Structure 1
Amino acid sequence: MSNKFNFTDNKIRTVQPIADQKRGYYYDTKTAGLRLQVTASGTKSFQFQAWDAKRGRPATRTLGKYPAISINKARELALRAMTALSDGVDIENEAQRLRDEDTLDTVFERWLDQFAIPHKKSWPEDVRRYDLYIKKPLGNKRVSWFSAAKIRAWHNKITTMPKQRGEGTLTQSTANRALALLSTVFNQSLPEIPNPCRSVKKFHEESRDRFLQPDELKRFFEALLHDDTPETLRDYVLISLFTGARRSNNLSMMWNEISFERGVWIIPAKKSKNGSTMVVPLVEEALEILQKRKQQTRSVFVFPGSGKTGHYLEPKRAWKSLITRANLQDIRLHDLRRTMGSWQTMTGASSTIVGKTLGHKSPEATAVYARLNLDPVRTSMAVAVKAMLANQLTSEKIKLIREVEKS
């Protein structure tokens, strides 16, 4: 066979290693500069080779192995290489630069070390999100590979992926959170290049406003106080409801953060999402639960656990079982926090009081919060709790249940 012919799959498949030669070369008659290298072991690779007039020597670039790279793709890459060579680009050094270029995995690890871990309390959640939605499809890609079109395709594809638990596919909100993380990594770790995420439009999200309604609270409390509900789950849910605090803070609540004398829970700045120390008033019902738990444990955590953290972990299965028994739909643990704020509003609290309760921090409200006394916040929370309990469960019933548990 001549070493020059029109490349087709049939002809390339018949090409054999040349006896007594480490490599043999065959040239495409259709595309200038495109050649096929065949090693003594039979490995076939496409290459581009042409005269580099600027440097006065032949320039060679490997395009990829056959058949992983198709003939059409090899021809496309060869034409690009010829254009770059004509423009004066050193295609050999450029190829080496691309081989040495960081992958997204490398960039993400650098971002974690330099930006996330030193400055973000939620960096473990970033790692979890990266591992679930970004690492497998994009982690091994070089930085120059990324474009808005490729990221847009990945962003869309997330919504077709099955959920880790349960039926259905991942939500548009999940895709948006993954896109936001990827964009942050590019912005902070690679500020010298245009962010390829910038022109990718997020999916529209409806603001979630779900909270427990009066008729739902009755079923909710009945299920919560049922014998099938574990005591730790019951206490955790009630504390979450009565404080309006974030899940991470409730789960990691420690006894040295509780002042029974002042009736407050002091969340240190290092555990607070807004970066400031939070003082959460504890209503009577919450204090009763905490006092009971304090007598029953030696752990530093209010809700101890057997895992690495030492504290209770989010009870997803137990929560799902609870809301199923209560015949409730679309209620999440985070909605307990929204329930406190909503019932405060329903019982006459101002937005400033609600914001102080939930630890919201905005430029407009910061000055007001700094001057705000905790007494009206505690009063508002107490009124909201009484209103919630009035739907089914009275404070006296809670006390009676506690006394039965102690006996």
Structure 2
Amino acid sequence: MLNYRVDGRERRFTIGSHPEWSAAAARKEAESLKRRIDRGEDPLGRRQETRQTPTMADLCALYIERHLPKKRPSSQRDDRVFIRTLILPRFGPEKVTAMRHGDIEALHREISAHAPYRANRLVALFSKLFSLGINWGLTTENPAKGIERNPERMRTRYLDADELARLQAALDTYSSQQVANAIRLLLLTGARRSEVLAARWDQFNLESGVWTKPAASVKQAREHRVPLSVAAVALLQAMRAEASSAYLFPGKAEGRPLGDIKKAWASICRRAGLEDLRLHDLRHSYASYLASAGHSLPTIGALLGHSQAQTTQRYAHLLDDALRRATEHVSTVLSAGRGP
């Protein structure tokens, strides 16, 4: 131990214990510490300050407590998985202020080797963690800034008429009609998977054919009111007649909705002979059918609940067929020499 005074206060600094530290090594360390003390440093104060500095585990705990409840349930699940499986095992004990750009970049490279999009989502989470950490006074820097993300391209996978027929046939014979109905509702509404699986009966007015999605369940974080087709209403009415839960698709745990249906979806795709088709592609298919029928991009965006026009722009090329039919109609009229 080394006894010294700082600002009139006596301090006792523990160098180490025997036999890890020999007497000669301890004396040498004490001399080095004394020189630092003479320059105005306080070794014990610095050690205590370091011990009190929040760790990444502390930052993640604050994030889960203060910020996570503001996000959609599906986003909450994704963030919890990232934190539990990637961030805490690797960086949990690290001090927030000790994290470096290279630490996060190295993990991003590792994940990119097999899941490039997932790696980008992880960096986005890191960036949000440190941004909030700055606001909460835990750090002054965001080491996740400037990390080059992997290029991402928008998928253009849609169901054609033959694939749709095969999917519907596979749904008709699937063992769990609850899951089949969830997929049918995805097809008929273009809703997000999380919105359908968490849907409650009190969100639906089947008489007027309207689904009012609460702000907490939608991506744009504001209430989204959408009309339902005749087919969607008919499906829901048949389901309602046999309903015994507040949820359209109740899960195994009482009072909870149905969880993930990825395994069921994979089985249905195998039955239908569908390759490289995600559940989210049903939403794209819904939008593609609207575009091909000639409905405008603002209409498609309103039905899908897009908050930004550029999100709907990906379907612009699908309007070509409807526009071609329109211009052919004009051409036919003009060629015949008659007015409209």
1:200 matched to 2:147? The reply is: yes
Alignment correspondent of 1:144:
97
1:274–1:359 Cα contact (<8 Å) kept: yes
**How far did 1:172 drift?**
0.7
**How far did 1:286 drift?**
1.0
Tell me: CA distance 1:92–1:264, structure 2 relative to 1, closer, same or farther (3 Å): same
- CA distance in 1: counterparts of 2:42 and 2:288, whole angstroms: 64
Unaligned stretches of 5+ residues in structure 1:
1-16, 28-32, 36-46, 57-84, 161-168, 366-407
Aligned-pair RMSD on alpha carbons? Answer: 2.7
- CA distance in 1: counterparts of 2:227 and 2:274, whole angstroms: 29
- CA distance in 1: counterparts of 2:140 and 2:218, whole angstroms: 33
- CA distance in 2: counterparts of 1:89 and 1:107, whole angstroms: 28
1:324-376 deviations in whole A, cap 9, x for unaligned? 111111111111111111111111111101100100113899xxxxxxxxxxx
Alignment correspondent of 2:335:
none
- CA distance in 1: counterparts of 2:97 and 2:127, whole angstroms: 15
**How far did 1:125 drift?**
3.0
**How far did 1:91 drift?**
4.3
**How far did 1:275 drift?**
1.8
Alignment correspondent of 2:129:
185
1:175 matched to 2:126? The reply is: no
1:133–1:158 Cα contact (<8 Å) kept: no
- CA distance in 2: counterparts of 1:211 and 1:309, whole angstroms: 35
Alignment correspondent of 2:81:
128
Classify the secondary structure of the residue corresponding to 2:188. helix
Letter in 2 for 1:24: S
**How far did 1:89 drift?**
4.9
> Which of the pair has the greater relative contact order for Cα pairs under 8 Å at 6+ separation?
2
Classify the secondary structure of the residue corresponding to 2:158. coil
**Which entry has the higher C-alpha Rg, 1 or 2?**
1
Unaligned stretches of 5+ residues in structure 2:
1-17, 312-340
1:240–1:247 Cα contact (<8 Å) kept: yes
Classify the secondary structure of the residue corresponding to 2:145. coil
1:229–1:322 Cα contact (<8 Å) kept: no
Tell me: CA distance 1:215–1:49, structure 2 relative to 1, closer, same or farther (3 Å): farther
1:208-258 deviations in whole A, cap 9, x for unaligned? 222212332232222222x24421122111111101111111011111111
Comparing 272-281 and 122-131, the one that deviates more: 122-131
Alignment correspondent of 1:104:
56
User: Percent identity, aligned pairs only?
Assistant: 28
Alignment correspondent of 1:24:
22
2:112–2:150 Cα contact (<8 Å) kept: no
What TM-score do the two structures reach when normalised by structure 2?
Answer: 0.77
- CA distance in 2: counterparts of 1:205 and 1:26, whole angstroms: 60
Alignment correspondent of 1:50:
32
Say which structure is richer in helix.
2
1:265-314 deviations in whole A, cap 9, x for unaligned? 11122322212211121111111111111111221111122126522222
Say which structure is richer in strand.
1
Q: 156, 171, 182: which one pairs with 1:224?
A: 171
